Amino acid sequence: MDLSAPHRAVAPTVEGAVLMVLARVTRPLSGREIGRLAGRSEAGVRRALRRLSEHGLVKTDEAGKTLLHSLNRDHLAAPAVEILTNMRAELLRRIKIAIAEWSIKPLEASLFGSSARGDGSTGSDIDLLVVRPPEVSGSDPVWEEQIRELSSSVLRWTGNHASVAELSPTDAELIASGDLPNAEEIGRDAIPLWDGQAS
């Protein structure tokens, strides 16, 4: 999955980019605004808008000399568009649920790196940081199986490999203090997934 634009797995065309823009806003937009937000040419966006309007998925209204476009949220396909828009959030939700079901809970867990920033690609790993409880050995078979199953699930959900950085509480303290490599990046980009209690 292209983590910078997950919808490309299903809708890689200009139409997909236009729909992602319209799904994220609540006000109608001009073709120029859509092009700027989608990073596509205005001419290409205009053609895509015409095709989407033909299918009824985009509503187009006149405002003086300007045409304003919005997603037709009553369209049968609109829920599918919303799902595509929210795939990254759905990934986070699934990881949180998976960790909440572990029999040995981590002290904390987070997403970091390109997957947290949202600028990864189909070749990027999903970087996860998991802090092991002090009483649990890193070679504990239950703990190891949990890590393996989470990695396997992430691959099934996204097509991207999971890179799990498993830390002891001491290592986690070094990360927090900035004394380990990549500590600054991890701290800056990290998205919490587990903080020791169910949310």
Please name each of the domains of the chain with its CATH number. Answer: 6-84 (1.10.10.10), 87-194 (3.30.460.10)
What CA–CA distance (Å, rounded) separates 127 from 111?
A: 6
Phi, psi dihedrals of residue 146, rounded to the nearest 5°: -60, -45
Look at residue 66 in the predicted model and tell me its pLDDT: 92
Q: Classify residue 137 as exposed, middle or buried by CB count within 10 Å of its CB (0-12, 13-18, 19+).
A: exposed
Q: Phi, psi (5° rounding) for residue 53?
A: -65, -35
Q: Is the pTM above the cut of 0.85?
A: no
At residue 71, does pLDDT exceed 50?
Answer: yes
Predicted confidence (pLDDT) per residue in 91-146, tens digit: 999 999 999 999 999 999 999 888 888 777 777 889 999 999 999 988 999 999 99
Who has greater pLDDT, 197 or 138? 138
Each residue's pLDDT tens digit, 41-59: 999 999 999 999 999 999 9
